[in-house]
Chains A and B, each alone.
Chain A
């Protein structure tokens, strides 16, 4: 089980795509996403023996990716200026016809990312596992190393906080545009 080739083949290779996508969905910046993936791979390498012994190693690997992405999200402010420059490209998308719509959308996204970054790490990871990866509560509990009830509490509290902080966005044009 601890043969390194087997570890990669059986544990990492099947979730490569999910790892990339989980990181991208939170970080949303090409270079930062690559860095985050590197960091996640280093952590996975260091914890490989623990991962092998885990009852759900794939979920644990994806949770490590979310952890790394959450850390990057908090550092993301540095990249916001660069992201603004890419906004011009987005303007040309058929669904967003005006500059004001694009700016509004960007502002909303920033607020949501900022809110996720404000959540305590375990709550943030729990809610991201639930929403992005559609993980059931028992798997979230396994990867966080807590009971299922505690996992539910993390998700519920995270949601409550986000609802409170983002209440003004429930009627956001972001939702309307996408609909």
Chain B
């Protein structure tokens, strides 16, 4: 070892004097107690290891790789569940109710409605109706036979008129309840979007809902418990707009509704198409004179 320089010796002496080894006995005993406490931790390895195992387990669970793997598993399970055709009854009910509410809500907020109705008659012909409705609550219903309008019903806030184009007469009716003409009765529940929404919401009971994924459409089956014979209704809705495209009304059958059931009415809807308000003005079409 090299000899230290005299100047270094001086500073070393100075430091050694100031940093002298004079640990008081009280401090020494207190510091020894700290060592004893520290040593105890080593002497209780079981407890320590148990704690360590618990924390190591928690640490392992929270590792990024484990979290990433569990996320992937959850995504895969989600996809499998989504693709599974047999979905849970609860999920289907929720979907059915959510779609129903969406349709009812959209129908209430439309600006215009055009509906062509076909009702088969006993002689194998069709009775055709054309319902036109524009906001705020103006309705026109034309009853057609053999491509000729026989009767027209106008409903507005102020008045209700019925025109018989064959007899060339028009009369005023006080209220919707006073419309007793049996010719208009089949379409009374489709006179306005609000009426349709109310039926969906309050009167008809949802039996079934099937999404028709390939056409972005859905199919509702309703039961009308108040109707004579408790008719069934099949409504096809556009899942882009949540507006009805068509309704078919059937007499109840022993099985699920199908084309083979007795069709009593068929409706096709066009929504939010511009309709001239002029057609809402009651006017007799002088068919007999023209003829």
Residues of A within 8 A of B (CB): 4-5, 7-8, 12, 16, 20-21, 23-26, 30, 33-34, 37-38, 41, 45, 108-109, 112-113, 116, 127-128, 131-132, 136, 159, 162-163, 166, 169-170, 172, 174-175, 178
Contacts and interface: CB of A to CB of B under 8 A. Distances in A.
Contacts of B34: 34, 37-38, 41
Given A34-B34, A37-B31, A170-B10, A21 B23 contact: yes
B27 A33 contact: yes
Nearest to B17: A178
Nearest to B38: A41
B26 interface: yes
A107 to B, nearest CB: 12
The 10 nearest A-B residue pairs measured at CB? A24-B23, A25-B19, A8-B42, A30-B27, A112-B18, A4-B42, A20-B31, A163-B11, A131-B15, A41-B38
B11 to A, nearest CB: 5
Nearest to B27: A30
B11 A159 contact: yes
Contacts of A159: 8, 11-12
B18 A113 contact: yes
Interface of B: 1, 7-8, 10-24, 26-28, 30-32, 34-35, 38-39, 41-43, 45, 48
Contact of A20 (B28, B38, B42, B43): B28
B6 to A, nearest CB: 11
A175 B14 CA distance: 7
Contacts of B27: 20, 24, 30, 33-34
A101 to B, nearest CB: 14
B31 A136 contact: no
Contact of A21 (B7, B16, B21, B42): B21
B11 A30 contact: no
B7 A30 contact: no
Contacts, number: 87
Most buried by A among B10, B14, B28: B14
B14 A20 contact: no
Contacts of A23: 31
Given A8-B39, A34-B27, A163 B13 contact: no
A162 B15 contact: yes
Contacts of A175: 13-14, 17
Contacts of B39: 8
A26 B14 contact: no
A62 B144 CA distance: 108
A98 B32 CA distance: 35
Nearest to B34: A37
Contacts of B17: 174-175, 178
B11 A162 contact: yes
A176 to B, nearest CB: 11
Given A21-B23, A41-B38, A33 B31 contact: yes
A127 B18 CA distance: 14
A40 B237 CA distance: 75
A159 B10 CA distance: 10
Most buried by B among A127, A159, A170, A175: A159
Contacts of B20: 25
A19 B240 CA distance: 79
Given A4-B42, A34-B34, A38-B34, A108 B12 contact: no
